Amino acid sequence: MSKQRTNTLSKSTLIRGLQCQKSLYLYKNAFHQRDKTDKVQQQKFDRGHRVGLLARALFPNGRDLTPPTAFAFDQSIAATQALIGMQIPVLYEATFKHHGVLVALDILVLKDGKWYGYEVKSSFRVTKTYLLDAAIQYNIITKSGLPLEDFSIIHINNEYVKNGDLDIHKLFRITSVKEDVIERQAFITETIENAIQTLSSETIPEVPIGKQCFKPYPCDFQRTCWKNIQESEIFRVGGLNLDEKIDLYLNDKLTLKDIPEEYMERERVKIQTEALKEKGPILKREAFKAFLDKVNYPLYFFDLEAFQPAIPLYENTAPFQNIPFQLSLHYKASETAPMMHYEYICDGKYDPRREFLDTFLRLTEQPGQIVVYNTLMEEGILNQLKALFPERMDDVNERIGRFVDLETPFKMNWYYHPDMQGAYSLKAILPTLVPGAHYEDFEIKDGLEALAVFDELIYETDAAKISYWRTHLLEYCKMDTYGLSQVYAALKRLLSE
């Protein structure tokens, strides 16, 4: 096994090692086995980078020491020491290395002859993981010879609402964590020694699967470590939570008959295990039929997508607020009438909420129940919009009054197919009722990916990329409402048999 990546540790690799020593070893010695970064994770990286750049304006006119290439840190280290010696008051990405560990600090500030460190995080809270991150930075910087008067985390203020120009002094909060960081110094020294010892071994650490595969971050070696594990029957039972499944697996309880009796008392576990044993669907016909008898044409099948910009873009919006950016509607006047489709997507350059609401209300003017799958998002967005545009409150309330949540009977366990593998999402249910209908070939496969893609499109300047991703966003949302209509039709056929 190659060891070309073991020369230097960083704060991220040390945090990785705290989460799982096996993950650290594989990252340094078998990087090619790492899972591909998905759209959602990449968007989080990009968002963090944007927030970090914006936070620099709190301490303007600094010198940027970002290395010219990904691994060319020697130049940054030398420049950092030189500029500290010259007492340049603000440095971005000041870089330090000690005992084989490399750190780059977001912002280093000189005030009244003393140095202050700042790390930027694109979240509301200062988490335990962020404190460990800061403790590693403090350890390496101070042991490199630079005393720090204070160390703080810059994070987003959850009470900020944009009113006029973006006010970064209100958008961000600065929280001193020096006391917490100092308390962790002995632990950080031990962590570094453990990481060095792990990487000096010739063999991969034996670490069984567990919670550390997902917390505090999803591990990017799951395909390696979980290979064949999810073929075990217990991982196909969604009525068990992940911790319970892992506990059963580690205790060699791998089949349905191994599930403890107390778990079998849960309705969802009972139904799912029954479906797995029967190798076919479980249908509570009378309950489902009573529900669907109340749902009749004309029908709208409705879905929307919303994104959550960390940096507020529009007037009267807060960080991470849900902003609707597209919708899809399939409309069918009767069982034999042709299906009509309507869609909307904004460009993100201006506040889309008024246009979104007007479009939705106009498209649903005619009578007909409005079928959604899980009303939480749709009702939440519409209630937010009626508060923003009170003159449309009656219209919005009238539309919400027509909502039918097709998720309800599935949540009530009135239908379950073993191929759903414990999931109750539309994506899991659709192919079990409509063979061949799925999202596998779509560029965008779920709502989280749609959110991530649009969030990045706001900052994209390449016209070809914008057109490409807008097309795929529309395609994805259209599939959601078409799939919803097909699930409804398939259930009506099934219950009439």
pLDDT at 134 over 80: yes
Q: Which residue has the tokens 């780059």?
A: 104
The mean pLDDT value of the chain amounts to 93
Helix H, strand E, coil C: the string for 275-329 is HHHHCCCEECHHHHHHHHCCCCCCEEEEEEEEECCCCCCCCCCCCCCCEEEEEEE
Q: For residue 378, with 0-12 CB atoms within 10 Å meaning exposed, 13-18 middle and 19 or more buried, which class applies?
A: buried
420 DSSP 8-state letter: G
* 15 touches 208 (CB < 8 A): no
Q: Would you say residue 211 has pLDDT above 80? A: yes
CATH of span 9-200: 3.90.320.10
pLDDT at 242: 86
What digits encode the pLDDT tens for the residues 60-90?
Answer: 999 999 998 877 889 999 999 999 999 999 9
Q: Which residue in this structure is represented by tokens 């219950």? A: 495
Are the CB atoms for 316 and 388 separated by under 8 Å?
Answer: yes
How many CB atoms sit inside 10 A of residue 123's CB?
A: 16
pLDDT digits (tens, 9 = 90+) for 158-170: 999 999 999 999 9
How far does CA 416 lie from the centroid of its chain? Answer: 27
287-496: CATH, from 3.30.390.30, 3.40.47.10, 3.30.420.10, 3.40.50.11690: 3.30.420.10
Q: State the alpha helices, DSSP H only, in 144-266.
A: 168-171, 178-183, 185-200, 222-225, 242-250, 261-264
| Domain ranges (residues) in the chain | 9-200, 232-266, 287-496
Q: What is the pLDDT of residues 16-30, one digit of tens each?
A: 999 999 999 999 999
Which among 474, 495, 124 has a CA at the least distance from the CA of 294? 495
pLDDT score at 5: 45
Over residues 284-303, mean pLDDT = 95
**b/e string for 217-230 if b means 16 or more Cβ within 10 A?**
bebbbbebbeeeee
Please enumerate in sequence order all residues whose Cβ is within 8 A of that of 396, keeping only pairs 6 or more positions apart, or say none: 357, 361, 382, 383, 385, 386
pLDDT on residue 2: 42
pLDDT at 3: 44
The distance in angstroms from the start CA to the end CA of the chain is: 59
Mean of the pLDDT values across residues 194-204?
92
CA distance 369 to 366: 10
What are the tokens at 153?
């985390």
Q: Which residues, including other chains, have CB under 8 Å from residue 489's CB and lie 6 or more apart?
A: none
Q: What is the pLDDT of residue 231?
A: 67
Residue 98's pLDDT is 94
Q: Give the mean pLDDT of 92-113.
A: 96
Number of Cβ within 10 Å of residue 296's Cβ equals 12
Q: Write down the pLDDT at residue 342.
A: 98
The vertex-203 CA angle with 197 and 204, nearest 5°, equals 85
For residue 390, what are the contacts with CB-CB under 8 A and spacing of at least 6? none
